[in-house]
Structure 1
Amino acid sequence: MQIEFNEEEIMIQDTAKQFAEAELKPNAELVEQESGKELFLSNIKKLSELGFMGINIDSQYGGIEAGSVAFSLAITELARGCSSTAVTTSVTNMVAEVIQAVGNEEQKSHYLPKICSGECFAAGFCLTETVAGSDPAGMKTQAVKEGDEYVLNGTKTFITSGDYAGVFVVWAVTDPSLPKGKGISCFLVDGDTPGITIAKAEEKMGQKASSTNQVIFDNCRISASALLGKENQGFKIAVTELAGGRIGIASLALGLGLEAIEYAKDYIKERKQFGQSLSNFQGLQWMLSDRYTELEAARLLIMQAAVNKDNGLPFSTSASMAKVFASEKANDACYTALQLLGGAGYIKEYPIERLARDVRITTIYEGTSEIQRVIIARDILKD
C-alpha cells in the first residue's frame, strides 16, 4: 500500500505539530489542574479557529473538507502534545460528522457552523449508560413523544466534554415494544436545554484536562424537530459513526505511543551506565526496535481505514483493527518507555508518567479491545 499525502494533508499535519509543540506540550501538566481549565478551553477555541473542529465537514458549513486521512494526522500530532485536547477534538469532529451524515439541511445549517467556529466549545456524544456500555442497545434512557415535543428521561455516563459541550447527540428508546436495539432514536439537544443536569467531572487516572461527566435528562423537553434521522433508526447511526470515531482514537493512541518511545530513545542515548550509553546495549535496542515496528504497523492500519473511509469503501472492520492494534501497542510503547527511563519514568518531572496514564484509556473508550475483536470476528465469519 502506497500512501502519498496531498498538500492540504501535509499542511494540516504540520499545523497540528506546530500547535502541539508551541501551545500544548509546554502546558500539558498545567491543564490537568483546575487552574489550567481556562487555558485548556482557550486552546480548544484556537483549534476551532484553525479549522480543526470540522476537518471532514463541508466548507458551506464552516468545515475545511480535508478528509479522514487529514483528521487522523491531526489527532496524532495533537495527542503528542496533549491527549486531553486531542480527545476533545476527536469527539467534537465525530459529532459534527454525525450531523452532516444524518441531519437535515436545517439541522446542518444551524449546528455545524457553531461547532466548526468554536461558538460551541465542544460537542458531546451521549450514548453510554451505566447499564449500556459495550452493549449500547440495552440503554434505558427514553424519549416519549408528546405533541410536537419529545420528553427525555435518563442518564448518560462517561460523556466527554459534558460540562462545556454546546450540543449533544443523544440516543434514547422511543419504542420499547420493538426488539432490543430496534426502537432507538437519535436527537440533537442543546447543552443549555432546561431539564439537563451535568454532574461533577469524574476524577480520572489520565486525560484529566478533558472533562468526563454524567449527563442527566429529567423531563427534558425538546422539539420534535430535534430528531436526527428517522424515528427508531438511531442505533444504526451509532454503530456507523462509532467506526469513524475509532479512527480518531487509534490515531490518538499512536501519537501517545510515538511521543513516549521517542522521548525514551533520546533519554537512553544520553544516559550512561557501566561506562557507556544505554543505547549501546542490545537488549534495549531490541525493545526500541519492537515498539517502533509495532507503531509503524499501527500507523499503516490507521491509514488503511482512513483511506477506505475517504474513498467511500467499507471501513468498519479496518477501523476496529486499527483501534485495537494501535491502542494496545501504544500502551506497550508507553510502558516500555517507562521501563527504559527506569526510576525516572515513574516521576512526574518526566512526561512518561503522564503519557502512561493517558494511554491506558485508549483500549477502553470508543469500544473496548474485546468489543473490537468481536466486531472483527463477526466480519471474518459472516457468510
Structure 2
Amino acid sequence: MPFEWLVGLRYTRAGRRNGRNSFISFISAISMAGIALGVTALIVVLSVYNGFQTVVTERMVSVLGHVEVYEVSGAGLGDWRTAAASAARNPQVKGAAPFIELQGMLVHGGDLMRPAIVRGVLPGEEPKVSDIGKQMKQGALEALQAGTSTIILGEELARELEAKPGDKVALAMAQGNSTSNMAPTMHSFIVAGTFESGHNEFDSGLALIHLGDAQELINVSGPFGMRLRLQDMQKAPAVANELRTVLPGHLVIRDWTKLNSGWFAAVKSQKNMMFIILTLIIAVAAFNLVATLVMTVTDKQADIAILRTLGASPFSIMKIFVVQGALVGVFGTAIGVICGVLLALNVGVIVGMFESLFGMHFLSKEIYFISAVPSDLRWADVASIGVTSLLLSLVSTLYPSWWAARVKPAEALRYE
C-alpha cells in the first residue's frame, strides 16, 4: 500500500495522545455521521415519493385505462369494434372497451347532492380495460343492464349521498348550451352496487351506468370513444403515437401520462426539489470535512515537514489529506446507503409501529388518496445519491489538502 494511504488511514483513526487529537477525531465522526444521516434521509424520502407515485398511478390506471381514443368532433366513434380491431393489430394492445362520459349532479333524499362524472360502459367489455369489476364492494358490474336504469357508485360517493344498493338516486344534467336558462333534466336510477378503487378522486366522484342508458340520456347512437389496455403501461406514449398513424378519422389519442399530466408534473417537481434540499444536508456534513482537515493540517505541520525532508513531494502530502477526507466520505456514504436501504424497504412497518405507539394516523385518505406510507426503492436513485455524496466529500478535501502541500518545512520545524 502506498505510504500516502497508510498515513491518511492513520490520521483518519487518530490516536488519543492529547485533547486536540481527540477533538479532531470527534469532528471527523460528526462529519461521517452527518453524511450518513443525509444519505439515509435522501434515500428514504425519494423511495417514499416513488412509492406514492407508483401506488397512485396504479390506482388511476385501474380506472382510467392506458390509452383513450375519441373523436374530435364529439360525434362518437360509430363502429367502435372496427376501431378496436385496428388497434388490436398493435402487439401491445390486449383489450378495448367503449365509453361515454357525462357530468351531472347526483341527488338522494332531496337534500343530499354531489357532483359526479357518470361513465357509460359495457359490463362485458369493461373488465378488459379496468379493474372496477374486481373492486366492487357491493353488487356486481354485471348488474348494469341496458334499459334497467341501474347505477354503480364509488364507495365514498355512496357514503356522502347516504345511498345503498336498492335506493333510488336522481341524475340532474344540464340541457342546451351553457348560456341557456333551461332547467336541468332529471333521470332516476337504482343503485346496484358500489366500488372502491383506492383513489379518493374516483371513489368520491365517479359513477357507472350501462352504455345503452348513457346513449339514451344524450340521444346518441354510439360511444364517444374507447379505452385500451396494454401489455406494458410504460409503453403507452409510444403506442399512442403509433395508433395515430393507424386508426382512421380525426381522433384524439391520449395515454395515461397525458390524462393526469398536471399531477405527474407536480410530483416530479416536488421530488426534484426535495432531492436538492436534502442534498444540502449532505453538503453541510461534507463541508464539515474542511474544518476537520484544516485542524488536522494545523496539528500535523511538524509531521508534514518531516515527511517533506524525507523526500515526500507536495503532491504526496496532498494525497494524504485527500485520502483522509475521502475515507470519511466513503464510510459515511456506505453507512448511509445501508441504513437508507433498510429503512426504505421497511418504511411501512416502521410507520405502522409509530402509528400504533402514538395512536395517530400520518396520512389522511381524503387528502393523500392513500392511507398507508408506500415505498419504492430504486437502485438508480441510490446510485445517484451515493455518487453525489462521494463527489461532495472529495471536493471538500481539495482546499485543506492544497494548503497542507504548501507547508514550508523550515517554518514548521522552527519551534520544534
In which range does the TM-score fall when normalised by the shorter chain?
Answer: under 0.3
Which structure has the larger Rg? 2
What is the TM-score with the length of structure 1 in the denominator?
A: 0.27
What is the TM-score with the length of structure 2 in the denominator?
A: 0.26
Higher relative contact order (CA 8 A, sep 6+): 2
